[in-house]
């Protein structure tokens, strides 16, 4: 295994923003595992699979081949040969990814791919179960948190700035985030939780630069340990 940094935490705490910038700074590969679950969710929605029915999802997942490719340094998700990267960030896909990632065959499908990607290169991988299940031997594990109200506000501003704000309100975004985080933390298979050897970082009051500084400091400490 290369040098691996695992960043876990609920949605909207700044994991992916921090991980992407750090990967570039350090020359590591950034692996966004949420995008992988989102890719499968796109397939289930396109396929008309009843996402609340475990058996239908588990039958459907057997027909999917998912691949990850890097194009100009950006991670792309291909599902049965189709690049679905541009379709991953809708509310429906977020919900479907959270619901279907509960099922073991869905997780099993991606686990091997995730581990294989970390085998030969230095990676920063973010998700929900990276420090606990996917890369238990990661050299640095960070568990990022934020107040749900802060998570919702960040998401709201992000949608507004990118012109993607539909009929969502701050309140509806907060409710969605709470529902998703509750489901991700309370599922039976690989729930979101802090690994025993992870360092918790509450980003509620931190700017992105402060988050990056905190992670770089932790990394230095690990390297010198
Ligand atoms: O990080 P994200 O919001 O893109 O993730 C979408 C969903 O995928 C999330 O609600 C739960 C699931 N997920 C997971 O179960 N395990 C991971 N390592 C990453 C994401």
pLDDT, one tens digit per residue, over 8-54 is 999 989 999 999 999 999 999 999 999 999 999 999 999 999 999 99
Q: What gap in Å lies between CA 155 and CA 158, rounded to an integer?
A: 5
Under the banding of pLDDT at 50, 70 and 90, the label for residue 224 is: confident
* pLDDT recorded at residue 85: 98
- Give the per-residue pLDDT at 43: 98
pLDDT at 12: 87
In the predicted structure, residue 1 carries a pLDDT above the cut 90: no
Domain boundaries, the chain: 4-219
Instruction: Note whether 128 and 190 are within 8 A (CB).
Output: yes
109 lines ligand 1 (CB under 6 A): no
SS3 94: helix
| 42-100 pLDDT, tens digit each | 999 999 999 999 999 999 999 999 999 999 999 999 999 999 999 999 989 999 999 99
User: In whole numbers, what is the pLDDT of the chain averaged over residues?
Assistant: 96
Decide whether any atom of ligand 1 lies within 6 Å of the 97 Cβ: yes
Q: Give Cα separations from 208 to 4, 92, 124 (angstroms).
A: 21, 28, 17
Structure tokens at 39: 């890719």
CATH class of 4-219: alpha beta
Tell me if residue 70 falls in helix, strand or coil.
strand
0.75 surpassed by pTM: yes
Determine if ligand 1 sits within 6 Å of the CB of residue 184: yes
Question: From the CB of residue 41, how many other CB atoms can be counted at a distance below 10 Å?
Answer: 29
Q: Closest Cα to residue 180, out of 100, 61, 86, 88?
A: 100
Residues composing the chain: 225
Beta carbons of 136 and 158 less than 8 angstroms apart: no
Q: Which atom of ligand 1 is nearest to the CA of 98?
A: 10
């Amino acid at each position: 295994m290369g040098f691996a940094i695992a960043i876990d935490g609920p949605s909207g705490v700044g994991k992916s923003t921090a991980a992407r910038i750090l990967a570039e700074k350090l020359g590591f590969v950034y692996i966004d595992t949420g995008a992988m679950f989102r890719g499968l969710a796109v397939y289930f929605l396109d396929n008309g699979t009843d996402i609340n029915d475990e058996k239908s999802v588990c039958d459907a997942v057997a027909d999917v081949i998912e691949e990850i490719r890097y194009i100009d340094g950006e991670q792309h998700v291909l599902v049965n040969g189709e690049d679905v990267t541009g379709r991953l960030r809708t509310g429906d896909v977020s919900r479907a990814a959270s619901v279907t990632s509960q099922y073991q065959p869905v997780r099993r499908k991606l686990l091997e791919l995730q581990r294989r990607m970390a085998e030969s290169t230095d990676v920063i991988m973010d998700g929900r179960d990276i420090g606990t299940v996917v890369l238990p031997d990661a050299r640095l594990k960070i568990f990022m948190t934020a107040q749900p109200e802060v998570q919702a506000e960040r998401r709201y501003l992000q949608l507004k700035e990118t012109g993607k704000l539909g009929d969502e309100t701050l309140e509806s975004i907060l409710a969605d985030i709470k529902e998703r985080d509750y489901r991700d933390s309370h599922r039976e298979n690989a729930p979101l939780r802090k690994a025993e050897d992870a360092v918790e970082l509450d980003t509620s009051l931190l700017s992105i630069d402060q988050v990056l500084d905190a992670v770089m400091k932790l990394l230095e400490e690990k390297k010198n340990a």
